[in-house]
Structure 1
Amino acid sequence: MPYSKLIASLTLATCSSFASAGLVIDSINVQMVSTKFSARNLTDTNDQKFATALNAFESSESAVCSEDLDAFEGVSYRGTCGGGKKNYGALYTITGSLIGAAEFEFGLDWGRGGFILADSKDTSVDYYNEDIWWAKSWTRASEVKSYVLTDVGDFSLTLLGFEGCCDGINSARYRTWDTAQTLQRSRPPEPTQWQTLKVNAVPVPGSLPLMAIGALLMWRRRQS
């Protein structure tokens, strides 16, 4: 194959890769503090409720434990930050990029309620005015909290929750699907299998063709 046609083929492959669904997780950070604050039964709008809860979290007199996680799996106040079993708040920040759509499921132990929100356009603040206890079972549909993002590019996902007792395990998983399929098929697109939410869980779409193009360009320069 001539050199020019090979470059064109690789470029087409790159564009095709970017058209498919892809989720890249750049970082997962958790901060935890000792606090007796409860996010239950707050008033005003969900945005205002979140602002009140975040202020209470940031105003805690205890030292903030901050940990960068490789995976959002088996996180607890005692196990991750060496805290006790009662009265704490947890703030998770997840950053990444998304082409297509992704559904996140969170198994949480937030007896005093909490929030999930994204910084992307047209996303909402989900407020949970309830005792959340998923008991390490993804089949407990009423306890597992879901959040969906669609074609947002770079994003930041925030979770803020509070626990009074007894420092259970917190975990997250995800699945993706290609939103372009809705234009090509009469039936709904099929999502991928559920996977544990990890840093760089999925390779950047199109990265391999781009690397190949770079290698060919370097080779071409050396030959000239």
Structure 2
Amino acid sequence: MKFVKLAALAVAMAFSTAEAAVITFQTGYSNAGAQGSAIEYRDVVEAAVANSSHSTVLNNYDIVSNQSLFGAGANHIAFKSTINFGLDAAGSYAFRAGVDFGNGGAVFLDGQAVAFKSSDMWWAHSYNNTNSVFSVGSQALAAGNHTLTIYGLEGCCDGGQQVQFSANGAAFQSFSADTLRLAAAVPEPETYAMMLGGLGLVGAIARRRRGKPAA
């Protein structure tokens, strides 16, 4: 019975192993002005970053800019941030982003537009500037993989940006590849090996019990 319990524990651990978020930050050149919809922002920015080599994976999303990451200019910038994360269990999540998008931008969650502003957005590192930040209220998210995507257009002058989340009403914290442990989307290969090993052990014990003569 002890071995059966250990095997079951190995299987449980395999499914509960958490993965960090993957935060991809991309920029490109664009002199486009304010757009009329979230879809238009998405299309303009996607076209701009497709023609650019400026792309990196962030360790954390806390005051980043085109200049600081790529040593590039401060004018006529298209921004795209893609945050892929997973959830072990369903929950309620809110998101917010402090940005410097002089020509506005949009936010998508799992491919659906959830925020859009065409005004000059400069948060000045304060979420009290509500007209210059994106705020996505409580979202009921199922277990599994999710993607938060932020698009923006900047004429001048490339200020630092930040993206944060709140899980089930807790305090907001910046997305981070090191500290965010929301979910296990897909088990790693070694996790599969642990899981299969546990199942094999359970099967071997069951076969031994069936083959043992009755007392």
Of structures 1 and 2, the larger Rg is shown by: 2
Distance 2:55 2:42 in 1: 20
Q: Which residue is equivalent to 2:132? A: 143
Q: Which residue is equivalent to 2:145? A: 154
The structural deviation recorded for 1:105 is 1.1
* 1:184-203 deviation per Cα after TM superposition (whole angstroms, max 9, x unaligned): xxxxxxx2222121125126
3-state SS of 1:80 partner = helix
3-state SS of 1:124 partner = strand
* Paired AA for residue 57 in structure 2: D
TM-score normalised to the size of structure 1? 0.69
Unaligned runs of 5+ in 1: 178-190
Shift of the 31–58 alpha-carbon distance from structure 1 to 2, 3 Å rule, reads closer
The structural deviation recorded for 1:35 is 2.1
Q: Which residue is equivalent to 2:71? A: 82
The structural deviation recorded for 1:166 is 1.2
Note the aligned Cα RMSD (angstroms).
Answer: 3.8
Shift of the 24–101 alpha-carbon distance from structure 1 to 2, 3 Å rule, reads farther
Distance 1:144 1:92 in 2: 15
Q: Does 1:70 align with 2:65?
A: no
The structural deviation recorded for 1:126 is 2.3
TM-score normalised to the size of structure 2? 0.71
The structural deviation recorded for 1:175 is 1.2
Shift of the 4–89 alpha-carbon distance from structure 1 to 2, 3 Å rule, reads same
Unaligned runs of 5+ in 2: 209-215
* Paired AA for residue 110 in structure 2: D
Distance 1:74 1:142 in 2: 19
- Is the 1:25–1:94 contact (alpha carbons within 8 Å) kept by the matching residues of 2? no
Distance 2:42 2:162 in 1: 24
* 1:70-108 deviation per Cα after TM superposition (whole angstroms, max 9, x unaligned): 111111111111112222111111111133121111110
Distance 1:165 1:157 in 2: 25
Identity, % of aligned positions: 24
